[in-house]
Amino acid sequence: MKYSIFMLLIALHTGSCTRPQDPSIMIDKTTVQGVDLDRYLGTWYEIARFPHSFEKNLVGVKATYSYRKDGKIEVLNQGYKDHLDGPLKMAKGKAKVPDPDDPARLKVSFFLFFYADYFILELDQENYQWAMVGSTSDNFLWFLCRSPEMDSDVFEMLKQRARDRGYDISLLERVPQKSVP
């Protein structure tokens, strides 16, 4: 587990070295305006992602966000190794909002004081049911949903928005999820 967290930190800080990008393509990392963090908190299911070593072979991945007593946000990431009945892997971290005027740009840490960027790029601002998250590196992209299944129209819309931003969506991989009873 400590190895996985260490690899996450390395990947987030050197992610642009892991997959060559066409330097002529600029990725639009503009974040959404007016994020209400109280509404954003809760559980999000990972629907699709760019592949990374720290999530290799993880399925049923979800993240749960809640406030801590110190005002920061607790982050609990969990997923199953290899298959939906595999061993549960968890990583607990924290997030903070460095600039209260831009709450869509968070910093997340799973190890000591090493923080990585967490940018809310797209968000269902009416119902807070789906989101697209990226980072400073072009190698990180996630589609999140409040339920384990995302409506196919929403999924296609997020793919188009990611493409419009300059992301290579051919790298997206779907994340199998357990059904919620």
Tell me the pLDDT tens digit for each residue of 28-52: 999 999 899 999 999 999 999 999 8
Cα dihedral 112, 91, 17, 57 in deg (nearest 10): 160
143 within a domain of the structure (yes/no): yes
Hey, what are 61's tokens?
């991945």
pTM of the entire predicted model: 0.86
3-state DSSP assignment of residue 174 = strand
22 within a domain of the structure (yes/no): no
CATH code, domain with 166? 2.40.128.20
Domain total of the chain: 1
Hey, what are 79's tokens?
């997923």
**What are the pLDDT digits (tens) for 86-125?**
999 999 999 999 999 999 999 999 888 889 999 999 999 9
51 within a domain of the structure (yes/no): yes
27 within a domain of the structure (yes/no): no
16 within a domain of the structure (yes/no): no
Residue 141 structural domain: 2-9+37-173
H, E, C per residue of 90-143:
EEEEEEECCCCCCCCEEEEEEECCEEEEEEEEEECCCCCCEEEEECCCCCCEEE
